[in-house]
Amino acid sequence: MPADAIVNAAHHALRGGGGVDGAIHRAGGPEILAELIERYPNGTPTGTAVWTTAGALPATYVIHVVGPNYNAGQRDPALLESCYRNALRIADELGVHTMTLPAVSAGIYGWPAQSAADIAVRTLRRTPTNVTKGTFCLVEPRLYKAFRNATAAGE
């Protein structure tokens, strides 16, 4: 889906992987990984975000966020919130107005779907930003339902 930036749910090592991260690296090409290795040789901590160019993706940038691993005991909602806040901060620094986002931590990291959706939607709605359109790209029906519920809640 074309956008100024694509948000990637990345592993803290920033070296590609499975799920959203693997799909972004496969579609974007080796330039993304090469840039990550050069710019972030030690990765980045949970809750933070970094950026690269987008390689062959239909975007200018990829904003890589490291979500908390719920299955490994990282269950502080503030860590998940900070992923979205930091993605928006970087988007503003880069002049991004449109972005696509995944359900950070709600896949293999095991964050409960409705909680992940509520945190994501609430954080995007409450964080001041110049981003005018954020589109969640969700491939699992359970995530689509959770995000539909969260966006309908309307805060």
Backbone phi, then psi, for 10, in 5-degree steps?
Answer: -105, 160
Report the catalytic residues.
Answer: 21
Place of tokens 């491939």: 139
* Both tokens assigned to 28: 């974007």
Those residues with Cβ within 8 angstroms of residue 104's Cβ, 6 or more apart along the chain or in another chain = 7, 9, 65, 67, 80, 83, 84, 111, 116, 120
Pair 96, 5: CB distance under 8 Å:
yes
